[in-house]
Amino acid sequence: MFDGEVPNGGVFTNISAFSVVGNCKLCGGIKLLQLPACPIQVLNEWKRPFNHRVIVLIVTLTIVVLSLCILAFIYRNKRSRQQIKLALPLQNQYLQISFGELFQATNGFSPSNLISEGRYGSVYKGILNSDEQIVVLKVLKLHECGANKCFVTECEALKNIRHRNLVKIITTWSSIDFKGNDFKALVFEFMENGSLENWLHPSLLEQHEPKNLNFVQRLNIAIDVACALDYLHHHCEMAFIHCDLKPSNILLDRDLCAHVSDFGLAKIFLATKGISIHQQSSSIGIRGTIGYVAPEYGMGVEVSMQGDMYSYGVLLLEMFTGKRPTNNMFTGNVNHHSYVQMCLPEQVMQIVDPQIIWEMEEEPSRSMQSSTTNISKLEACLVPVFQIGVSCSAKMPNERMSVKDVLKELHKIRNVFIGVRGQRH
C-alpha cells in the first residue's frame, strides 16, 4: 500500500533489486516499471507552500488560544483563592501560632471558654501560653452558608483599618484542624469589660454582679462608636460600611472605651470612586440584625453610610432607654423611633433607662448643686441625645444625620453636662 513517486536513482535503477508489485498508488520510477506518471511538478510546488501556510496558521492560532485560556485560568484561580491571599498579610504581619496553640488556649474549645455564639461563628476566651496573653478567638462555622465569605471580608477589613475605637486583631488562622477539616479563626485582643450588650441587658447569671453605666459613660461610648464610624466612612483609603452595628458588637476595654467589632458583613468601597469591591451575596441576604438593619435594605436598596447611621440611631436609643428595638412593647406602628419621638421633649424622664437616674442619685455629690438640680440638668441633656437618636433612625435615608454632625452635637452635650456638674467620669 505504498504511494507516491518511486525514485529513479540508486538501487531503484536495477529492476531485479526491488519489487513494487501490488502497490497501485505508486507513480514514476524507471520506464521498465510501467508505472503512471506522477502529477505535474508545478501542482506539487503549489500545494507545499499552501500546506505549510495552513500548518503555521493553525499552530499560531492554537498558541494564542492556549495563552488566553491560561491567563483566564490564572485570573479565576486568583479570585477563587482570594481568602488565602487576604489572610496572609495578617499572618505575615502579626503573631504566628499553630492550631495546637489555639486548641490549648481554649481548653479544646471547651464550653466553659465560650463567650458568645452567633450565626457565623463562636467566640471563645483563651490564654496563649507563649506569653500568657488573654485573647478572644472567633471560630467560623464553615458549614453555615456565608461564613466563608464573612471570614474573607473581615480579613480584608482588618488588614486595612487602624483606630483606637476598632477592635485590635492579633492574628488569623486558615488551614485544617487535627481531623483534617477546614478551620478558620480570628484572634482578637481581649476586652476586660465584655460587650455593651452585657451591660445594657445582663443575663440571669450576671445579674448577681450589679454593674451599670452612668450618663457620661454611656455618652462616652456613643462618642467612641461615632468616632469609629467616622473613621470607617471618611478616613480610610477604602470606605467601610459596617452593616451590623449593635450592642453585642461594641466591646468595652478596662477603661470602658468602646471598640467596634465584627466586620463579617462589612461592605467595602473605593473611597475615591464609591465603587463596591464586593458585590452583595444572596447567600447572606439582608445585611444586619433585625431591629437594627435599615428599613431600605429590606427593599433591595444597596448598603450605604446612611444605613449604618440608622443602626447607630437605634443603638443610641437603646443605650439611653434600656430597651431593645425588639422589645414586646414595640408592635404595630410603634417602634423605638416613634416611641421616643412621641415622648419628646416633655416626657423624656419617663422613657430614660431608670438605671441612669438611680446611678446619679446614689453617686455622692461633689458640687454645691442639689440632686434635684442635677436631675434637671440631666433631663436637659437627655432631650438632645434622644433627638439625635430619632434623627439617625429616621425612615428615609436622606433625613438622617451625618456622623460628623452627630459627633459635633454629642461633644457639645457632654461638655455642657460635665461643666454643669464640675467633674468628669
Q: Which of 345, 367, 346, 372 is nearest to 357 (CA)?
A: 372
Tell whether 101 and 146 lie within a shared domain: yes
Band of residue 425 on the pLDDT scale cut at 50, 70, 90: very low
Tell whether 236 and 117 lie within a shared domain: no
pLDDT over threshold 80, residue 104: yes
User: Which residues are paired to 122 by β-bridges?
Assistant: 117, 139
Neighbours of 240 (CB within 10 A): 25
Give the span between the Cα atoms of 358 and 336, in whole angstroms.
Answer: 23
Tell me what pLDDT residue 377 has.
87
Q: What residues have CB less than 8 Å from 46, skipping those under 6 apart?
A: none
Tell whether 178 and 234 lie within a shared domain: no
* Nine cell digits for residue 132: 500568657
Last residue of a domain, one of 189, 220, 237: 189
Residue 398 falls within a domain, yes or no?
yes
Helix segments in 196-264, DSSP class H:
196-200, 215-234
Residue 54 falls within a domain, yes or no?
yes
Tell me what pLDDT residue 367 has.
47
Q: Where is pLDDT greater, at 298 or 282? A: 298
pLDDT over threshold 80, residue 44: no
Alpha-carbon separation of residue 293 from 29, 259, 274, 317 (angstroms): 92, 20, 21, 14
Give the span between the Cα atoms of 416 and 152, in whole angstroms.
Answer: 44
- Quick one: how far is CA 24 from the chain centroid? 77
Q: Where is pLDDT greater, at 238 or 88? A: 238
Sheet strand arrangement including 121-128: 114-117, 121-128, 133-140, 182-189, 169-176
Q: Which of 244, 262, 308, 353 is catalytic?
A: 244
Residue 273 falls within a domain, yes or no?
yes
Tell whether 225 and 348 lie within a shared domain: yes
> Which residue range is the domain that position 71 belongs to?
41-80
Tell whether 218 and 159 lie within a shared domain: no
Q: What value does the mean pLDDT take over residues 369-398?
A: 89
Tell me what pLDDT residue 307 has.
94
What is the share, in percent, of the chain residues with pLDDT greater than 70?
A: 83
CATH code, domain with 138: 3.30.200.20
Count of structural domains, the chain: 3
Tell whether 178 and 201 lie within a shared domain: no
Residue 340 falls within a domain, yes or no?
yes
Tell whether 201 and 59 lie within a shared domain: no
Tell whether 46 and 102 lie within a shared domain: no
What is the share, in percent, of the chain residues with pLDDT greater than 90?
A: 40
Tell me which of 94-103, 223-232, 339-348 is least confident: 94-103
pTM as predicted: 0.72
Tell whether 152 and 131 lie within a shared domain: yes
Tell whether 387 and 262 lie within a shared domain: yes
Last residue of a domain, one of 158, 174, 189: 189
pLDDT over threshold 60, residue 27: yes
pLDDT over threshold 70, residue 207: no
- Quick one: how far is CA 218 from the chain centroid? 27
Band of residue 118 on the pLDDT scale cut at 50, 70, 90: confident
Tell whether 265 and 412 lie within a shared domain: yes
Tell whether 316 and 368 lie within a shared domain: yes
Tell me what pLDDT residue 233 has.
93
Residue 67 falls within a domain, yes or no?
yes
Last residue of a domain, one of 147, 163, 189: 189
Pairing verdict, β 114-117 and 25-28: unpaired
CATH code, domain with 382: 1.10.510.10
CA trace torsion 69, 70, 71, 74 (10° rounding): 120
Residue 144 falls within a domain, yes or no?
yes
Mean pLDDT of the residues in the chain: 83
Instruction: Check if 244 is active-site.
Output: yes
Residue 298 falls within a domain, yes or no?
yes
Residue 10 falls within a domain, yes or no?
no
Q: Which of 263, 260, 244 is nearest to 252 (CA)?
A: 260
